[in-house]
Structure 1
């Protein structure tokens, strides 16, 4: 998923990440450097990063090594000649922060959605504190009636860290909602590189070719899970097919 993410800043020196920077109302040189870096990355997705993203960028950069994996149970794993074809996973019920964006391009929608979630994660919430990062960040795609093109609105979802599952913080942004999702199961296959509507559509076609006809899986919507950011040359993503409720 072509997200604007915290790892874009991983290569920068720790000295640039002053602990008080997010609370400093006056821009500093390091603020400008980090913001310009993000703006350069965002421009490849035809997205603009506003100056008020400086605080969240610094907050996530300082905590870039502290990430929580979304819990799941592996149901099955299928390989061919030693190469993973797909696996099935069961994800538990849990609270997700969700935001929907309907930009012209898929990568614009998920980028704009994630910036909103970044603000929520980085103190723009009822707890008034940094919440912590979980991976993957998931985008939910709905298909047009022809089953080929994506609907315009893309939902981007962030699984709340374990610490906040029982007492979810409230977002300040009215566009973000906390959604309690019931347990679900997915067939998942990894892929690497960019995530645009074209590349994601190709991954959907590939997995259907591997699976063949399967009425137990939904065709009207899919998920894309992103573990890394656009600056990683061969970043890890997954396509998720959703199993119908039994």
Structure 2
């Protein structure tokens, strides 16, 4: 077993996970909100993501293993994300950016990398649409899963979603054989999220108004019944 594989086995114990909030579950996927965080990244270009996974992962793993300033070991985190910017055609190079979440203890001041291909990304708050799939990934599986997720999102009438780029996300070490967790993330634009929040707010206001109106109608009806009952009692007394 190679030294790096031993290191990966040791690193993937109880790892820190990227926090997120499930905003809503839809038919075939869910919407999540991820807070802003710093990520250690490396970028490569090529026609196959699978051919670049190993060199990108190795560079990032070396960074957290001590190839940094001040030469400290950084805990492994999960998931590993790869941002895919597809090329103009099937034979054109795409751009792939793999990233490890910087652990919470280093979020304020991430160690600098001595490898110039590693950089720190200040990833802003993201709203993503995603679903899980299992097994090991391949270029063909990733394309298939991304296509099916995009179709499900469009079928549901979602707007303001960036379908041109996406994240491929993996949660498990390579030696885990079963119950693997992978995901595709499509990012919603901030304007779309803002419009959705506004629509939800309007719907809540309308719902509250309807409830208040119903209460008012019921109250008026009860008062009318009370008046009629009093009139009937008065008439019977006469």
Same-fold call, TM cutoff 0.5: yes
1:219 aligns with 2:167: no
The runs of 5 or more residues in structure 2 that have no matched partner are: 192-238
Q: Name the counterpart of 1:162.
A: 104
The runs of 5 or more residues in structure 1 that have no matched partner are: 1-33, 36-53, 80-84
1:176 aligns with 2:118: yes
Of 12, 16, 22, which aligns to 1:74? Answer: 22
CA separation of 1:169 and 1:97: change in aligned 2, threshold 3 A? same
Provide TM-score, normalisation by structure 2: 0.73
Provide TM-score, normalisation by structure 1: 0.71
Aligned residues: 188
Q: 1:109-148 alignment to 2 at 5 Å?
A: 109-145=52-88
Conserved? CA contact 1:171–1:177, under 8 Å: yes
Bigger Rg, structure 1 or 2:
2
1:239 aligns with 2:191: no
Higher relative contact order (CA 8 A, sep 6+): 1
Once residues 62 and 17 of structure 2 are traced to their aligned partners in structure 1, the CA distance between those partners, rounded to angstroms, is 20
CA separation of 1:150 and 1:141: change in aligned 2, threshold 3 A? farther
Q: Name the counterpart of 2:30.
A: 87
Once residues 150 and 136 of structure 1 are traced to their aligned partners in structure 2, the CA distance between those partners, rounded to angstroms, is 28
| TM-fit CA distance, 1:214 | 3.5
1:196 aligns with 2:138: yes
The alignment's C-alpha RMSD in Å is 2.0
Q: Aligned with 2:114: secondary structure?
A: coil
Conserved? CA contact 1:59–1:130, under 8 Å: no
| TM-fit CA distance, 1:219 | 1.5
Once residues 121 and 66 of structure 1 are traced to their aligned partners in structure 2, the CA distance between those partners, rounded to angstroms, is 16
Q: Which has the higher helix share?
A: 2
